[in-house]
Amino acid sequence: MKINCTCGSVILDNYDYLRNKGRLISDTHWFDFWESIDNAVEKSGGSVKEKEYPAMQLRQMSLLN
């Protein structure tokens, strides 16, 4: 699939693990996904400080992909 960006670039979706791989996810599904992650982290053991680091790492990773 090819996605035409409003900036004029073309996002190619031919392979996995591309730096600029395009995904179309509705806001509803995106926020539900992160709510599920937050709930799983909250239910895990450890202090609030210990839970914060992995949750923030996941969010940072999602911005890079």
Per-residue confidence (pLDDT) for residue 7, from 0 to 100? 92
The tokens of 28 are what?
């509803």
DSSP-assigned letters across all residues of the chain: -EEE-TTS-EEE-SSSS-TT------HHHHHHHHHHHHHHHHHSSS-HHHHHHHHHHHHHHHHH-
Per-residue confidence (pLDDT) for residue 65, from 0 to 100? 54
22 versus 52: the higher-pLDDT residue is 52
For 29-59, the pLDDT digits (tens) are 888 888 888 888 888 877 878 888 877 888 7
* Nearest by Cα to 1 from 12, 17, 15, 16: 12
Per-residue confidence (pLDDT) for residue 45, from 0 to 100? 77
